[in-house]
Structure 1
Amino acid sequence: MSTQHTGTRNGAGAPPRPATETRPAAPRFVESVSLIAGREITMRLRSKAFLISTGILMLAVLASVVLGSLLGGQSEATKVAVVGSAASAVEGNAELEGVPVDDRAAGEQLLRDGEVDAVVAPAASDPLGVVVIGLDEPPNGVARALAVTPSVELLEPAAVDPTLAYLVAFGFGIVFFMSAITFGSTISQSVVEEKQTRVVEILLSTVSARALLTGKVIGNSVLAFGQILAIAVLALLGLMLTGQRVLLGGLGASVIWFVVFFAIGFVMLAALFAASSALVSRAEDVGSVTTPVTMLVMIPYVLIIVFNDNPTVLAIMSYIPFSAPVGMPMRVFLGTTEWWEPFVSLAILLATAAAAVFVGERMYRNSLLKTGARVKLGEALRG
């Protein structure tokens, strides 16, 4: 008796089916980091607020350089009418521009017409042999320019003008503070937003928490570093175009060190901002957990403004990782460092940044999927 085989699932008439279903391979760590970092960069570059704030910051830097050149430049020489032999007292004086006249009456007429600010005429009774004539008030500026002053020597001359040192310290401090706070807040808001909307659960089904954190840190670090580099290039270019080459020579090395220290220091701060933000699930609670990190950024800013002329405080700041990005470049500008000191400080900063990234990654990974109440620090570290 013959049997007839009907088409079954695995029968000859059915199409062949693979033994196992194939799933798309999960992206590797480097690919995941690249995708997340690119997403962070793209989102920021598409933000009008970010572009406008960056443009305003660039204009502020350029304006400060130009105004510094105008305010710090030499003022125009004061015009004075010079009578006869009094020309020898004015000749060679960079502060005065002599206008020769035939006699005292001609000089006084120019003074009344507003052509000159004073008249310098011979005077036999004066010890200097000249008299300075003003219109309605004593021409003290002209008198000071003609005054004979003794030579002055300093036992310990300052290498840098104190006012200039303060301005440079303020510049380093405000740039570091504003960039760290701006991009640190961006990272914090991004972490909490993804956690609050449960988007992070979808992301973690594809990439690891380590890749997610690394991508966020790298993406925002690239933007912050690019902004700082643009500020440095714009400032140096402005100094060159405005003819402030003396200042450029002393500021160039310190700006380069500032960029290097900032790049590493920001990675450290970015990891801490992301890790602390993962402890909460609501945007309203971000400030409470990121306050310690914010204080670590604010303290160097305050110290560099208050103690920019204190070598002891600056020396201590240059070796503390959270203040080294400001303290060490400032000491390089002042010329108070040995050649090896920036490298030692940089090594300390690198080690601290590595430790911060390690601890931050552990806190971030252990807290990311915990919603509701704030995650305690000990719990985030233990897992």
Structure 2
Amino acid sequence: MSTPEPAAQARTAPRPPSSARAALLVAEREITSQVRSKSFLISTAVLLVGILVAIVVSAVLSGRDTDDAPVAVVASVASSLAGVEGLDVTEVADRQAAEEAVRSGDVDAAVVPGPEPLGVAVLALDSAPDAVMGALTVTPEVELLDPAAAEGGMRYLITFAFGLVFMMSAIGFGSTIAQNTVTEKQTRIVEILLSAVPARALLAGKILGNSALALAQTAAIVAMSVIGLVVTGQDDLLTLVGAPMAWFVLFFAVGFVLLAAIFAASASLVSRVEDTGAVLQPAIWLTMLPYFLVVFFNDNDLVLRIMSFVPFTAPVGMPVRLFLGDAAWWEPIVALAVLVLATLGVIAVAARMYERSVLRMGGRVGVREALAARGDA
């Protein structure tokens, strides 16, 4: 008569997941919890629609005055605009009077005598109105009286957009990581999670999941901007910002991981949601820094050059320099390599802090204490 095999031997104990598998499971949990949130979906949809509407409205407003563009013309070449519809033509005595009319804003452009063989030229402040250029049977030479103004306006617009998108996305998703981390500590859920996955895998999953969401949202913003420019016929602008946008997405993907690690490690130092404000201040300031730098120093080549190689500001500084045409072909590659190395270093420090403080309850854990050798805590 055989002895029945004990139940403990009959069952095969489940094997714990590997660290990589555990990190992926945590990342999946982070992504699904966000995607199922109505507030996240609604805010993302509103953001994308708002970007498209803003591009369309700006294109419409910029073309509203082309139906009746005010133009000055020197009397000696007035015949070049004779019988042309859609232009409010004002005759002036000479080139000096035409230039004064353009600079004062009384007219959008002026047609003046020019070199042969065309015999006419166009004066404009920062760009030649399409209505004037289309009215002439030949395309004359265009002389811009204040070309720096156009460059400055476009420079500010693009740099502002890069800085704002990076700041809002990084702060938004970084704060989500921090809030989830502190909530899990406060409710003791983290103890259950750490019984199933290692602390470093938990941290990696949080960073991976939220980084994927942030990158997807940023890529959607870029795609919607491209669609808006194509729909409104602003292909010339698209050729200027296309490559910088692609680099921006790449730099953002790495730069956000760096900031996400800082947000998570900082949040692990406290046990209550009410205490997160103080510990997150350094991370928030690092996130806001590139925005303020490009807004206030967008015309300072030295500041932009330094920004493009500093890890915390490179995701904004380098794409801006690429848009302005100030960066050599090798500079974004070097800047990206520096950013990757810095990100790996920050992740190593953040993982040490997170592992040593995520189970510490009560008062705030100091940074030095969290980085110290493992003790009995």
The TM-score, its normalising length taken from structure 1, stands at 0.79
> Which residue of the other structure, out of 255, 260, 265, is the alignment partner of 1:270?
260
1:1-383 matches, cutoff 5 A? 12=1, 15-17=4-6, 20=9, 22-73=12-63, 75-78=65-68, 89=78, 91-92=80-81, 97-98=84-85, 141=106, 145=110, 161-382=151-372, 383=374
Query: 1:214, 1:293 → 2: CA distance?
Result: 18
Aligned partner of residue 270 in structure 2, secondary structure: coil
Partner residue of 1:113?
Answer: none
Q: Counterpart amino acid of 1:91?
A: S
CA gap of 1:79–1:233, structure 2 versus 1, over 3 A, is closer
CA gap of 1:118–1:257, structure 2 versus 1, over 3 A, is closer
Q: Counterpart amino acid of 1:288?
A: A
Query: 1:182, 1:312 → 2: CA distance?
Result: 30
* Cα deviation 1:140-192 (Å, max 9, x = unaligned): 946974666879979x9759721011000110011000000000000000000
Q: Counterpart amino acid of 1:97?
A: V
Query: 2:85, 2:6 → 1: CA distance?
Result: 104
Query: 2:212, 2:283 → 1: CA distance?
Result: 20
Q: Which consecutive unaligned segments of at least 5 residues does structure 1 have?
A: 1-11, 81-85, 100-115, 121-125, 129-139
Q: Counterpart amino acid of 2:78?
A: A
Partner residue of 1:6?
Answer: none
For the 8 Å contact 1:183–1:224, the answer to whether it is kept is yes
Query: 1:344, 1:159 → 2: CA distance?
Result: 32
Q: Which consecutive unaligned segments of at least 5 residues does structure 2 have?
A: 95-104, 114-121, 124-140
The percentage of aligned residue pairs carrying the same residue is 48
CA gap of 1:117–1:286, structure 2 versus 1, over 3 A, is same
Partner residue of 2:128?
Answer: none
Query: 1:325, 1:358 → 2: CA distance?
Result: 21
* Cα deviation 1:41-91 (Å, max 9, x = unaligned): 0000111111111112112211222123223337324389xxxxx896153
The TM-score, its normalising length taken from structure 2, stands at 0.81
CA gap of 1:256–1:159, structure 2 versus 1, over 3 A, is farther
Query: 2:8, 2:158 → 1: CA distance?
Result: 70
* Aligned CA-pair RMSD: 3.0
Cα drift, residue 19 of structure 1: 7.0
Larger radius of gyration: 1
For the 8 Å contact 2:77–2:111, the answer to whether it is kept is no
CA gap of 1:98–1:378, structure 2 versus 1, over 3 A, is closer
Query: 2:293, 2:107 → 1: CA distance?
Result: 42
Q: Counterpart amino acid of 1:308?
A: N
More helix by share: 2
